[in-house]
Structure 1
Amino acid sequence: MLRELKGMSQADCAKALGLDRTTYVKYENGGSVRRNVEKLARFFNVSTDYLLGNTDNPADPAPAQPPAQKVTHYTYRIPVVGRVAAGQPILAQEEIIDYEYIDERLHKGGDQYFGLVVKGSSMEPTIHDGDTIIVRVQERVENGQIAVVLVDGEDATVKEVKESEDGLTLIGHNAAVYTPHFYSREEVEKLPVRIIGRVIQSISKF
């Protein structure tokens, strides 16, 4: 981790960057860094592309090619809804409250995406009340990944997922609000408990 290489605590980095600690922790936990990406890149002496996940090489990229050789990547518009019910994002025109844009290369793989406005503080400090999450539609996620999960046919919840032979555990990062909740295999089938998609990005609205 870049911070550990500098031998600094989260609080020290936040102070040096002029950020509050909650915002900095969110960046380390996968939150969108676009708002402060240039500041973070200078502080950690890496490229902005590295922080944005566009490259695995932390070094500054080679000089840009002339405009005639530059490859342009376009964005793909996805709908943002206020809630997800009955296992599907509500995409009727009157239910769409906003739009967000993702790299078109993500969509070319055939995956489907939607945005969802988070309500509640159970995932703080990773995801805050009012944040917009970008969700890739899929029925399974790896342990430790954050997913949108439908429980008992009600509106979906956003939680870290841990699956075992015995069942499924939903974990909120704010234990004071939401303690881990375990669902047995029988409950997963009968309620049901169903994963709708994986959260790939969280966007804060300032």
Structure 2
Amino acid sequence: MTATSFDAFFRRVAEATGVETQNDLARILGVNRSAITQAKQRNAIPQKWLHALARDYGYSARWLESGEGPQNPGAPAAESFDVDCLQIPKVRARLCAGGGSFEVEGQTVETQPFLSPWIHRKGSPDSMVLMDVMGNSMEPEIHEGDTVLIDQSQRDILAGGIYAVGVEDTVMVKRLEKRPGGLALLSDNPDYSPIVLRGEELETVRVIGKVIWLSREYR
């Protein structure tokens, strides 16, 4: 086996999972960002990371670690890419991380492939949709220009969850928090005050779905 290089490992993980930053890697592994930094400094990859990635994404732990052997030894030939992936629609509507977006058109503009085992573990693929984000109210978690994956079957409000939410004619991306007799729409950016809805205002709210993944293109 060839010597493990963290940088080469990260490139393979990016190829296999679509992550773009070390923060993304920390998130999918469920570890602190400092753990990624330490692994990079040691130039060593914990075996439990390899096993977790192999389990969740269907790739060979050996290939992830060293680049040797097949990427997915259990898969058929190369044409399996289309078989093992599902196309998720991206719609024209944009989520506002700010005051609200009036761009709510649900027309599909393109589709993006996701590994079928992964997307099924995350929720209901038939109810998923991709949307772009505009505004900075959810920074540093979500930036303007990010694309988020929303599962419209997940509408139950869980503490700390990020949701696409419609209020009257606008659509936003916010953390939702149940309050006595009301609902709070929270931003991660401290420059934005919470939006608290009560009484008849709650009739104007619709939870579109839970944000379960995001991607970011660096410019």
User: Scaled by the length of structure 2, what TM-score is found?
Assistant: 0.60
Q: Choose which of 78, 95, 99 in structure 1 pairs with 2:111.
A: 99
1:54 partner letter: D
Q: Which residue of 2 aligns with 1:6?
A: none
Contact kept in structure 2, 1:172 and 1:179, CA below 8 Å: yes
Q: Which residue of 2 aligns with 1:9?
A: none
1:202 partner letter: L
Q: Which residue of 2 aligns with 1:81?
A: 91
1:131 pairs with 2:146: yes
1:141 pairs with 2:143: no
Structure 1 alignment gaps of length 5 or more: 1-16, 18-22, 33-38
In structure 2, how many angstroms separate the alpha carbons of the residues matched to 1:134 and 1:167?
A: 26
Partner of 2:214, secondary structure, is strand
1:195 pairs with 2:207: yes
Q: Which residue of 1 aligns with 2:136?
A: 121
Distance 1:132 1:67, change over 3 A: closer
Structure 2 alignment gaps of length 5 or more: 1-9, 11-20, 30-35, 64-68, 96-103
Displacement, 1:100?
2.2
Partner of 2:134, secondary structure, is coil
Distance 1:48 1:81, change over 3 A: farther
Displacement, 1:99?
2.7
**Structure richer in helix, relative to its length:** 2
Distance 1:67 1:169, change over 3 A: closer
Partner of 1:142, secondary structure, is coil
Q: Relative contact order: is structure 1 or structure 2 higher (C-alpha 8 Å, sep ≥ 6)?
A: 1
Distance 1:24 1:109, change over 3 A: closer
| Cα deviations by residue, 1:58-96 (Å, 9 ceiling, x for unpaired) | xx94788997744777121112224259xxx63435xx1
Contact kept in structure 2, 1:31 and 1:202, CA below 8 Å: no
**Aligned positions of 1:7-86 closer than 5 A:** 30=27, 42-43=39-40, 45-46=45-46, 47-48=49-50, 50=52, 54=56, 61=61, 69-70=74-75, 74-83=84-93
In structure 2, how many angstroms separate the alpha carbons of the residues matched to 1:50 and 1:41?
A: 18
In structure 2, how many angstroms separate the alpha carbons of the residues matched to 1:68 and 1:175?
A: 47
Sequence identity percentage: 24
In structure 2, how many angstroms separate the alpha carbons of the residues matched to 1:67 and 1:169?
A: 44
Displacement, 1:112?
1.1
RMSD: 4.2
| Cα deviations by residue, 1:12-41 (Å, 9 ceiling, x for unpaired) | xxxxx9xxxxx666765x489xxxxxx779
